[in-house]
Structure 1
Amino acid sequence: MAVKRRQPTMADVGALAGVTDRTVSNVLSGKVPVRPGTRDAVLQAVQTLGYQMNPSARSLRTGRTGFLTLALPDLTIDYFAELANAVLNEADRLGWSVTVQQTSTLRERELSLVSGAGRNFSDGLILLPHALDSRDRNLLVTDLPMVLLGERIFDGPVDHVTMSNVKAAQAATDHLLSMGRRRIAAVGPNPADTTTTAATLRLDGYRQALRDAGIDVDPGLIAPAVAWNEAHGVKAVDALVDHGVDFDAIFCFNDSLAFGVLHALRQRGIQVPHQVAVVGFDNVTATAYTSPPLTTIDSGVGVIAQTAVQRLIGRILGTLDGAPEVFVANFSLVRREST
């Protein structure tokens, strides 16, 4: 007859890690401060024993579930997938769990998350809105803590973690200008945008760089992309070439677009970077392995994820108070063989 194995307890974890039950609880609940060495010892003991906290018991004891919700528009986009991974890693490091939801840019899904109806078993929300915008900021006044990502809603009633879209796009365009390129196409604007978005901000940076260089902005060089994926990168190049537009460089508003652009240029027999130089935006992992490797903007996804998680947990635990703040991550240009 098989004997049922006893499930490890918090006391077992503490004994193995050489700490008290309370310290184990503090680590697993995300309470601070806990010394890094102690936290590592506890997490190692958890892994060794296969300990799993009872979420219901934890909720009754602390009033918290230990779960965060991360909501992103489209997890098939490399940047969003890597952002989700970075958020999961940071939350795990701090002893929290994350449920990830895809909004598919649907307004009703974003509203459900903000209202709480779509956030079962969660202490707080990290949201990158796409359908909501600054006109909806009053909807963000809720009981549950929230941190915003992206560019849709500024001056809202919650913490906001974002990136330097304008300056980074300007730096990408300046890099192409420094190479002597003067006919620089911009792939990524969305004609449907009626409010501030990453696309509008990156277009502003592109235009500013050209103006500073004394170059008129040619509308024919601005190639729209309704979706920021490889297929629309291909469509943009096809449209430029088929319409006889003369260009010697392309600034892509994200790396997924750039992957499609590189593919389309190769299919057309256009050499990169000799005939056309290409710059992307986000520095996702695959950029180092394209042919040729892609020059891109590192937008600081790791710092964005860490800051968002830490600020949200701080709001949940009450260790972070005061008025909502906006944090803007630094960026850098990563030069590779596509320029």
Structure 2
Amino acid sequence: MKRAAVTLKDVAAAAGVSAMTASKAMRNAPGISDATRDRIQALAKEMGYTANASASMLKSGRSGIIQVIVNEYDIPFYSKLIDALSNAIVDQGMVPFLQETKYQPDNATTALSNSLFSGTLADGVIIHASGLTGELVDSIKHGRPALFIDTYEEKTLVSAIMFPNEEGARAAVQHLAAQGCRRIGIVGPPFIDKNELLSAPSTRKLRLMGAKSALINLGLAYDESVVIPLKGMNETYAREAIRERGRDGLPFDGLFCLNDSSAIGTIRGLADLGLRVPDDVKVIGFDGVTSGEFTVPSLTTISVDMNQLASLAVMNLRQQIEAPAGKRPDPTTITVGYTLTPRESTEVR
């Protein structure tokens, strides 16, 4: 005779707990102690219990899958963001499904509208991606639970978790000044004038705005002469730009780079020119995606609290998912904190 499959009710009865408690334990959901969770999971394994995902989805109307869409996987920033989001999703008893757009609008469209995991099989979506069309964003606003990371809208119609872009950039420039720098440059996108900075905010514009305000408050210039523009915000482009700008001498004793990848490239480009960091030029990055060992000297940076960001993002999305029909909470925008992490690239020994 075929042996009946062990059910969740069997596990709950054997553990002396309710079916709800057993369910939370098996989904790693909050609301029970670690000791209770470990005991129930160990007992379930001993009894040979296997969750029936299809039956669970039919019963609850949820899959437990969270779609995560990012621009790419292979740079340190996204590696750290994906790791933090994946851990936070798993900690909440759900499963992450990752997709990358490679900065292509068509790929963003496919990920949101045509993917097997969009709409039907995913309970919600977390997005940090370029190239989202207005039509797609509108469909998100009126559709499934969603959360944007560092995406700016004139009106808050989708919940968002933001980086401390303006505040962090201002702190970076102030740190260079505190270290004695008086000729401070900015490594990043092309120069943006005051009027354009104030229109259609974006991550890069806000970081430039923070740097600009700090420079002006210090009595320093913000104009095209202090900007080293990059073709792309990565190590290779930064290294090339620094070498090109420095062929006839580099007029800076401090450089604020709009992300850590470009800061690493900047340090290497300065070394190519025979300039010492921090003795000749001090360098600071933004994002905090390196632990310091990837550069010599190690990189001073504005460290964004990625774990806080991920925890807030998943908590917000879960609240949306679990809200009764027609009672989804109003969208919110939260800016996460940062820490200025001083290391060798700005600290003269």
User: Normalising to structure 1: TM-score of the pair?
Assistant: 0.87
1:308 shift after superposition: 0.5
Looking at structure 2, the residues matched to 323 and 197 of structure 1 have their Cα atoms a distance apart, in angstroms, of 23
Q: Percent of aligned pairs with the same residue?
A: 30
User: What amino acid is the match of 2:241?
Assistant: A
1:83 shift after superposition: 0.8
SS at match of 1:333: strand
Deviation per CA, 1:250-289, whole angstroms, max 9, x where unpaired?
Answer: 1111111111112222222211100010101111134344
Looking at structure 1, the residues matched to 248 and 46 of structure 2 have their Cα atoms a distance apart, in angstroms, of 62
1:136 shift after superposition: 6.7
Looking at structure 2, the residues matched to 237 and 47 of structure 1 have their Cα atoms a distance apart, in angstroms, of 58
Looking at structure 2, the residues matched to 293 and 48 of structure 1 have their Cα atoms a distance apart, in angstroms, of 49
Residue 267 of structure 2: aligned partner:
262
Deviation per CA, 1:95-146, whole angstroms, max 9, x where unpaired?
Answer: 1100011011121222334446463421100001311377975343232100
Residue 158 of structure 1: aligned partner:
158
1:202 shift after superposition: 0.7
1:29 shift after superposition: 4.7
CA spacing shift, 1:116–1:251, aligned 2, 3 Å: same
SS at match of 1:242: coil
The 8 Å contact of residues 70 and 128 in structure 2, kept in 1 or not, is answered as yes
User: Normalising to structure 2: TM-score of the pair?
Assistant: 0.85
Of the candidates 339, 342, 345, which is equivalent to residue 338 of structure 1?
345
Residue 96 of structure 2: aligned partner:
98
Looking at structure 2, the residues matched to 232 and 7 of structure 1 have their Cα atoms a distance apart, in angstroms, of 58
Residue 323 of structure 1: aligned partner:
330
SS at match of 1:64: coil
User: What amino acid is the match of 1:83?
Assistant: L
Describe how 1:1-339 pairs up with structure 2 within 5 A.
Answer: 10=8, 14=12, 19-29=17-27, 33-42=31-40, 53-115=51-113, 117=115, 119-120=117-118, 121-132=121-132, 137-190=137-190, 195-318=200-323, 321-339=328-346
User: What amino acid is the match of 1:187?
Assistant: V
1:55 shift after superposition: 2.3
1:185 shift after superposition: 1.7
Gaps of 5+ in 2: none
Deviates more, 1:213-222 or 1:316-325: 316-325
SS at match of 2:285: strand
Aligned pairs, how many? 336
User: What amino acid is the match of 1:322?
Assistant: P
User: What amino acid is the match of 1:38?
Assistant: T
SS at match of 2:301: strand
SS at match of 2:317: helix
RMSD across aligned positions (CA): 3.1
The 8 Å contact of residues 137 and 156 in structure 1, kept in 2 or not, is answered as no
The 8 Å contact of residues 30 and 92 in structure 2, kept in 1 or not, is answered as no
CA spacing shift, 1:59–1:323, aligned 2, 3 Å: same
Deviation per CA, 1:43-75, whole angstroms, max 9, x where unpaired?
Answer: 566788886533212211211001001111121
CA spacing shift, 1:294–1:316, aligned 2, 3 Å: same
